[in-house]
Structure 1
Amino acid sequence: MTTQRYTLLSLFGFLSMLGNAQQDTLQTPEKTAFQTVSPWMPEIDVQSDIAIIYGAHDTEELSFQNRLQSWRNHGYETQFMTGISWGDYKDYYLGDWDGENHLNIAQVQQDGEDIMHGPVNPYVVPVPSFLKYLKEEVVKKAIDNGITTIYLEEPEFWNYAGYSDPFKKEWQAYYGFPWRAQHTSPENTYLSNKLKYHLFYNAIKEVSEYAKAYGKSKGKDIKVFIPTHSLINYTAWQIVSPEASLASLPSIDGYIAQVWTGTSRSPNYFNGTKKERVFENAFLEYNAMVSMTEPTKRKVYLLTDPIEDGIKDWADYKRNYEATFTAELLYPTITNFEVMPWPQRIYMRPYKTSEDGAEALIPDFYATQMQVMINSLNSMPYANNKVNGSKGIGVLMANSMMFQRFPNHEGYDDPLISNFYGQTMPLLKRGVPIDIVHIENLSYPATLANIKVLVMSYANMKPLSKESHAYLADWVQQGGVLVYCGADNDPYQTVQEWWNTDGNQYQAPSEHLFELLGITVSNQDATFSVGKGTVHVLRTNPKEFVLQSKGDTDYISTITKAYETNAQAGKLIFKNHLHLERGAYDIAAVLTESVSDEPLVIDGPVIDLYDPELPVLAKKVIVPGTQAFLYNLNRVEKDTPKVVAAAARVSEEHYGKRSYDFTVKSPKRTVNVMRVWLPKRYKGITVTNVEGTTMTPEELEWDKSSSTVLLKFPNAPAGVQVHINW
């Protein structure tokens, strides 16, 4: 995600911090984080557990060490993030570091133009000198300043790159023959992208192993995470990255799933129509990231962003933030979140008030709503229950999805990665909560443990090893049901790979899989019994299921038979919504272009957390195309009084027989709205600031139906104290 540069406000905020270094210990376990290039400022004190400090650079005004210390002084765990394919490394690029200019390591496109992330900031070919610089000047510096968790952000190599001299040199070393221009053939495209994948896999391996080893020499246990877009998004945006392969590296501890409006608004096809489908895209993107880590026992933070890199208006940001936020909460085993990147641009940069309106800072109502949402993440519970609907249908993905995207060659066209959406969107739009399965994870037993029906295609990807087929064949033999979709007629079927080298002479990789399954497949659709399992072969490329109206009829019919008859997994339920009960929360989305236009009704009393007024509703009606985030008061544990929703973080709670005291903290210049559950109607409420001055609440309202009181007053990062008695 685009980094933010220092502003004069950053310096003023730092000076303010020096003058009033309020110690603030965050008591809860470390669940939530945000990333920032800025020092602490009261306007961006979002009250998460972790401040991830971006970049190790010093400026004349402010050192890296002082940036770290400013957040530590306010009770934050500090961690560190830096780019691994670009970054503010001018001392390296311009030769100040070693006396040699390194701007020539930029990724280069066919016309000879460098691909830049910003001024004097190229996307790089990760050559040895660059990795040496990262290790010795960036990672080492972070660890020496007390950092024990490092994020190597966004290993990205553009599909349309691959024309620079350093890349040509790496090609010769990797393949053992001279470089070939990727635009000249499908095979050269595939080989070029496979090398890009390999270069950043090795780069991350080398830098992360160095971080672990150097930390160990200092008596520290260093954790290394990879903040990365999903495989779906990188494929859509024509970027190559190591993705799922990194989850098996011993030196990688996990990921940040960089999913937000900007990635999820990428348009796709369904039922012959091309358009944005933000919620559905986000659901699939988070799915891809969660399934990438669960079998390998790696940790993953799910990210959302209340705005995006693209300049839109506040109404657009709000609508799509709700869509992506809902999607991330539908994965109840994940309890770690990056609540936002770049809080400075959210709280302190003006954006349009409407599509054609004037610019203004974040509206109070949106800031309040946003803070209700992010503060809910600080205590978002783990849950064993799942999203409602038929379980056990998986769709296979491979990193090689990124290899066939650019340029287009004769005989191959996959508009907006429709071969992927052809397998997923017809099911998701019918309310089936499908699971993404990564071919790179098939060696882990947990990967297919809960899958009843697995859909796959080699139309848009290819297997990077033959071992994956052995796992698939064994799974089918033991009772799994495989649905293979594809004509296997694209030009990438015959690229130089394991299935046609070293004595293998298969015309397509699926031939090797079918051989292990013991079946003979023609150009016609067919069904086979294999051991205890079943294989359905549809000789149609899955893009055809979504590029035309009602193109998925036969596909859905086959999936239904596979699920109900072959897998005997029960009735395949179609509906127009996804709904999850997660502790006291209800999370729901009602889909458009689905089996009906009926709304979903959730009985109350519930608090609507997407409404900054936090109303208590007797029931919530959710119409197609919208989502809901609700606090269900029927599931409140009524043992003690509690804040059930707030646009501020609650701490220092104290309970008496007839009293409840607590402190709430949130950024300066924002408004707190909160609901507090009480066993009886309050007799008195006192609100005071840290100076001890009594504050008059802007709103104070008792709701008998829910036994809650609504309070509204200005926020303060130093804290506001609330005393309630009854």
Structure 2
Amino acid sequence: MIKRLFIVYAVFTLLSNNIKSYAQAAVREKTAFQIAAPWNAAYDVRSDVAIVYGVNDAGGNFEERVKGWRDKGYQVHFMTGIAWGQYKDYFKGLYDGKQHFDEGQKQRNGDTIWHGKDVPYIVPSEDYLGYMKAQMKRVVDAGVTAIYLEEPEFWARAGYSEAFKREWQHYYGAPWRPQHESPEATYLSSKLKYHLYFNALKEVFGFIKQYAKSEGRNVRCYVPTHSLLNYSSWQIVSPEASLATIKDMDGYIAQVWTGTSREPVYYNGIKKERVFENAFLEYGSMVSMTAPTGKKMFFLTDPIEDWPRTWDDYKRNYQATFTAQLLYPTVANYEVMPWPNRIYLGKFKLENDTARYPISKEYATQMQIMVNALNEMPASSNKLNGSSGIGVLVSNSMMFQRFPTHQGYEDPQLSNFYGMVMPLLKNGVPVETVHMENLKNANTLKNIRVLVMSYANMKPLSVNYHKALAQWVQQGGVLLYYGRDDDPFQSVKEWWNSNGLNFKAPSAELFRTLNVATAGDFVKSGKGWVCINRIDPKELVLTAGKDGAYLNEVAKAYKQYAKAGPLQTKNNFLLKRGPYIIAAVLDENKDAHPLLIPGPVVDLFNPGLPVVATKTIAPGEQAFLYDLRAIPPGQPRIVAAAGRAYDEKYQNKQYRFLLKSPSHTVNSIRIYLPRKPKEVHLQLDGVKIDALKEQWDASSKTLLLQFENYSEGVSVSIDLNG
């Protein structure tokens, strides 16, 4: 009997665990936001996941904050910084009895680089990793199902602290070398910084997984990180693409927003902000980094940004970055905003005004329409319009030679990268980035027909990259190389000039592998072609009108040698994802005509959700539309709403749902109905409330409702009898 009971118990336990695992896997985690503050009806965003930030943030009370968000129906995850955070107990000696300010990242003049008061950017020592593991134990015990360790950042200008010198000795087995003394010292310093945060995440994620498993749970681990392009521009070193090789790392959040994308870049001799274009490239670099690995990717946007600006500036650039993220149809997971309390309760200026104001009702409504659309946004196999299959090679080593400058060689605003992409992007070519670190993966170059590269701004970290490139070319790929190969980092001690190899530049080893040497024309290599151009890519954008020959060469490579057809140039990008239409029209283009999109469509950037017969998009503008022709007739459907619908039901000719959104905001909702409704009822906890607007559009068979939002939800009942 005891044995039989044991068997029954074992089977029951196994089934329970399987059901628990299945339920956990089935939980919807498509949208999220990060928040340090406790739950509040004023910023109850209604995404799938609330990522509670920081054990010691928001005055502590970590477990209470987790419980507060979970009690409101959210999946609860956790986020904190890996290179900085509210770790004053560690730095001030309250954790282990000794102060750790000496582990802060230091510049050449001895100054510590601070993230906040008593919070330095840190050199991740063994003691610090022990502290972080102790923090993570508490986080796992709080019951979160995923942990995000964000922004593994080591400043390029840092590297002078005693802690860093100790790590140098341990890693290289030799005394520390000041990075300003030579290109090689800079390169070695950057490689160490890169390694330190790779190791930090590997160690802490490994601990999280092991500890959670010992508790019978599975906790996923993610890295929210800026793009390679932004870190290279801002002169920060981070592990980036290599993190995908960590077995305990489940994915990334692509931290792209107005603050990163407004970094000025050169094009046609002019340096200025180009937010849409930069955001498009940043998101693209994150897709390139992740897609071949199968890791999960969330895209971040922010309706405002860290730096105080005007509401008008925020809105304009939010639309630009929001559009850019949607133009990558394979990604359909989103961090819809960071710090919703800062957005809903913050005060910022208007244009030509010195006073500060809270968010307007109109912008809050528009933002909530956009955010709620992300809850419905489908992944798609559709492609962006234009000539696909053109890639530009990038590498983590782009971060290694940004600071300091040696021998007078400058790369202003990362122009050796932007010189290869901006002439194409500005002419409507959906250019891709290709991560060198992923070349060993067969999927990386699968759809690339023409690849452009340079070693002016990066260096190959392995000879295996050249083997992969050669194999791709010899199977039919077309490679365009741009570079004078005279920057001071060409001669750093690396694999191409050591252990029996003696090449003056890494490109020389690549060309030998490809069996080509002639600059200036296309040379056959196996079934493919190679063209070597002895100018640096930065020259294509630093001087006005210098990119014409480059565009002609890419067009020739694409049509004549890759046999991919004529290179299509235009002034717009257009994509369809389910019922959604996403479009952007480029300025600084010879074609200054607007893009016309036939309707009927609903304008989702307009808080009034108008039905538009033809949408006109001018150069420099973007559009986010709902195609009403995509709706199957007969079944009621919410087209767009400044809130999230729950418990939708359509029976006995009555359509009902509960609409939740942050309190003290205005809801604007457009609903498709098979016919004009007889009656519409709005209730809050059983008490009737009045609509601010109720309007039937007979031509589109849609109903527009506007009413006050309440976090607890407004019950909407639409009677179609009659």
What amino acid sits opposite 1:98 in the alignment?
D
Which amino acid letter does the alignment assign opposite residue 513 of structure 1?
Answer: L
The separation in 2 between residues aligned to 1:331 and 1:626, in whole angstroms, is 18
User: In the alignment, does 2:196 pair up with 1:199?
Assistant: yes
User: Alpha carbons of 1:28 and 1:684: their partners in 2 closer, same or farther (altered >3 Å)?
Assistant: farther
Structure 2 residue aligned with 1:414: 411
Q: CA deviation at 1:575?
A: 0.3
User: 2:716 matched to 1:722?
Assistant: yes
For residues 511-559 of structure 1, give each alpha carbon's deviation from its aligned partner in whole angstroms, at most 9, with x where no partner exists. Answer: 11111111124xx423210111000111110001100111111111110
Alignment pair present for 1:278 and 2:275: yes
**Match of 2:13?**
none
Q: Deviations over 1:161-216 (max 9, x none)?
A: 01100101111122222111111221211111111111111111111111111111
Root-mean-square deviation over aligned CA pairs:
1.1
Deviation, 1:718, is 0.3
Q: After the TM superposition, which residues 442-461 of structure 1 pair with which residues of structure 2 at under 5 Å, given as runs?
A: 442-461=439-458
Corresponding residue of 1:689: 684
Between 1:201-210 and 1:27-36, the stretch displaced more is: 27-36
SS in 1 for 2:232: helix
Asked if the contact 1:224/1:254 (under 8 Å) is kept, the reply is: yes
CA apart distance, 1:57: 2.3
- Are residues 1:378 and 2:375 paired? yes
Contact between 1:110 and 1:161, CA under 8 Å: does it hold in 2? Answer: yes
Q: Is the 8 A contact 1:574 1:595 kept in 2?
A: no
Return the letter of the residue paired with 2:93. Answer: G
CA contact (8 A) 1:527 1:534 kept: yes
User: Which deviations, in whole Å up to 9, do the C-alpha atoms of 1:589-623 show, x marking residues without a partner?
Assistant: 00001231010000000100001111110010000
**Count of matched residue pairs:** 695
Query: Quick one: structure 1 residues 657 and 445, their matched pair in 2 at CA, closer, same or farther if it must change by over 3 Å?
Result: same
Q: Secondary structure at the match of 2:376?
A: coil
Alignment of 1:302-341 (within 5 A): 302-341=299-338
Name the amino acid aligned to 2:470: A
Name the counterpart of 2:166.
169
Partner Cα separation in structure 2 for residue 227 and residue 159 of structure 1: 20
Q: 1: distance between equivalents of 2:629 and 2:505?
A: 56
Q: Please give the TM-score of this superposition, normalised by the length of structure 2.
A: 0.95
Counterpart of 1:51? Answer: 50
Rounded Cα–Cα distance in structure 2 between residues aligned with 1:132 and 1:526: 57
- Structure 1: runs of 5 or more not aligned: 1-26
Deviation per residue, 1:347-383 (Å, 9 max, x gap): 0011112243411110000000000000000111111
Take 1:551 and 1:190, find their aligned partners in 2: how far apart are those partners? 31
Distance, in Å, in 2 between the alignment partners of 1:122 and 1:331 is: 36
> Residues 98-147 of structure 1, C-alpha deviation per residue, up to 9 Å, x if partnerless?
101001100000111000000010000001000010012x1111111112
What is aligned with 2:88?
Answer: 90
For 1:610 and 1:433, the matched residues in 2 are separated by: 23
Determine the C-alpha separation between the residues in 2 that align with 1:466 and 1:84: 31
Measured after TM superposition, the shift of residue 46 of structure 1 is: 0.2
Unaligned runs of 5+ in 2: 1-25
| 1:570 aligned onto 2:568 | no
Aligned to 1:37: 36
| Inter-partner Cα distance in structure 1 for 2:232 and 2:706 | 45
User: Structure 1 residue aligned with 2:706, among 706, 709, 712?
Assistant: 712
Checking the alignment, whether the CA contact within 8 Å between 1:28 and 1:49 is kept in structure 2 is: no
- Name the % identity: 56
**Residues 119-130 of structure 1 correspond to what in structure 2 (within 5 A)?**
119-130=117-128
**8 A Cα contact 1:312 1:355, kept in partner:** no
Q: Give me the whole-angstrom Cα distance separating, in 1, the residues matched to 2:352 and 2:157.
A: 33
Q: In structure 1, what is the equivalent of residue 18 of structure 2?
A: none
Determine which of 688, 695, 699 is the counterpart of 2:693.
699
Residue type of the partner of 2:362? F
SS of residue matched to 2:292: coil
Distance in 1, Cα, partners of 2:260 & 2:215:
39
Distance 1:564 1:294 in 2: 27
User: Aligned partners of 2:117, 2:694: CA distance in 1, in Å?
Assistant: 52
CA distance in 1, matches of 2:155, 2:285: 20
Tell me which residue corresponds to 2:537.
Answer: 542
Q: Distance in 2 between matches of 1:534 and 1:285?
A: 29
CA distance in 2, matches of 1:449, 1:606: 36
| Structure 1 residues 157 and 648, CA gap change in structure 2 (3 angstroms) | same
**CA offsets 1:227-265 (integer angstroms, 9 cap, x no match):** 000000001111000000111211111000000000000
CA contact (8 A) 1:172 1:179 kept: yes
- Tell me the equivalent position of 1:24: none
Distance change (3 Å), C-alpha of 1:639 and 1:335: farther
Q: Output the CA distance in 2 between the equivalents of 1:649 and 1:201.
A: 39
Distance in 2 between the 1:112 and 1:378 partners?
A: 48
Q: Does 1:526 align with 2:524?
A: no
Alignment of 1:601-680 (within 5 A): 601-680=596-675
2-structure distance, mates of 1:400, 1:639: 56
Structure 2 equivalent of residue 81 of structure 1 = 79
Equivalent in 424, 427, 430 of residue 430 of structure 1: 427
Aligned counterpart, 1:484:
481
